[in-house]
Amino acid sequence: MSLNLFPIYPVLFFQTILLINQTTQQVLIELPRNALHFLWGVQYGALVFISIVNCFSYLLTWYRGNRKDDFPTGIGFFEPEVSIIVCTKNEEDNIGRLLGGLIKQEYPPEKFEIIVVDESTDRTVEIVKKIQKETKLPQIHLLERKKLPPKPENFNPVAYGITLGVQHAKHEIIVITEADCIHPQEYLRYFIQPYNPNYSRRPMGAVGSHPIFVSENGNTVVANMQRLDYSGNVFHNFAALDTIRNKAGMSIGLWGGSLSFKKSVFYEIGGFSGIEHYLVQDIMITDKIVKHGYRIMMLFDPRVKVETIASPTMQAAISQRFRWYKGMLSTNWQFITASTVFSFLPFFFENIAAFLIGSSLFYLLVPNPFHFPHELIFTVIFSTSCLVVLYVYRYVRLYQISKSRIMLKKWKNNIFAILLYGFWEWLINWIFFLSLFRKTIIWR
């Protein structure tokens, strides 16, 4: 009987192999289809979330731009004594313009001083000393780092320079700026108004305003794209979130070119102690101030907008963004979450859509074992629609910030920069993603 069954074994064996092969082929065919269906769901969910975030941001920015003035009337003008601190390193091309603008501020010159903390090897010191001799008021003080105690190891050099400036400051209100900034003449008069005791019930710890990127060589495409992106898009989100975060007592990232705080608050919180190694010293010091119970405020009034020189080349702009993003990702969960929502999610959404369009077209045009052309055609149409919607959101946002009185209404936009804006946003999101893999800067 066993001899009669023997021929059956090879047949069973080959039938089993055939069944396994057929099952494997079916699985290999169904697996991409199931993966495709899963990615449809991911795309749809991301599209819904991005739509909600953008609409919410539009509404909040509209509200921020149409709400009451940042400087309410009826509380009187506040004119305290102020110390302005600027840290410089090889700024011979900028320092003269900066000091010239600060000297001409519409503010009593006897009520403010300018402190330059310098570590240059060029003519910066020479230019500062020349302006010192020509100017009686306001007083200009020069602190040369080489004549002061050396910087501790792993201490952010800008943070250390600010610390030295605060130590030598005579006045309670400290204003921080940068050498490549250009201030409107009424800047100081309005910028310190939130410290008026009648301005807010909650004690004010820090105040900031946002920059407008300009070019020394006219309205170049590179400079214009930086203005649209950073001065417009980034602070568009700040304008929206500022409304919520102020109510919730959460941190707002103030910019180091237009930042102020009280000297007493700086010492109360221990200055940069514990955060001296961070790359983004402006964000970290304001975050520390908030954690000690103080209110901080971002002003969007045109009278306190500070112009700053944009990176002259695309390579320099990209390097700058890498540094900013790496610094942002080393801060607290609030900024990491905001960066993820506004940068990583669109990056993921956009690139997944582009991948699905490309791969679907490939499988439609090239002979392959995947027999589900209808799903592939739907994928191309749906993913293309998702990209169109994303770019519509970007350009609607661009239109909003270009017309907003608190954003870019008075600044002319280059038509080529507008056309390249979508590409620039895509590139910026790639920079954010790649910055996750860059080494953290260690200060020496």
pLDDT value at position 89? 94
Please give the radius of gyration of the chain, using alpha carbons only, rounded to the nearest integer: 28
The strand order across the sheet containing 112-118 reads: 139-144, 112-118, 82-88, 173-178, 258-262, 204-209, 295-299
Q: HEC string of 140-155?
A: EEEEEHHHCCCCCCCC
Would you put residue 270 in left (φ > 0), alpha (ψ -120 to 50) or beta?
A: left
68 or 404, which is more confident? 404
Give the Cα separation of 258 and 66 in Å (integer): 23
Residue 271 CB contacts under 8 Å (≥ 6 apart), including other chains:
163, 166
pTM of the model: 0.85
Whether pLDDT at 439 is above 80? no
Look at the block and give the residue holding tokens 């201490």: 155
Using pLDDT thresholds of 50, 70 and 90, give the confidence band for residue 10: low
| pLDDT tens figures, 158-182 | 999 999 999 999 999 999 999 999 9
pLDDT value at position 371? 64
Give the Cα separation of 224 and 221 in Å (integer): 5
* Pairing status of strand 258-262 against strand 204-209: antiparallel
37 or 128, which is more confident? 128
Of the candidate ranges 92-96, 112-116, 336-340, 416-420, the one whose mean pLDDT is the lowest: 336-340
pLDDT value at position 12? 53
Domains of the chain, earliest start first: 35-67+202-444 (no CATH), 80-157+164-171+180-193 (3.90.550.10)
| pLDDT tens figures, 180-218 | 999 999 999 999 999 998 887 778 899 999 899 888 777
Average pLDDT over residues 409-419: 86
Q: Please report the DSSP string for 258-320 in residue order.
A: EEEEEHHHHHHTTTTTTTTT-S-HHHHHHHHHHHTT-EEEEE--GGG-EEEEPPSSHHHHHHH
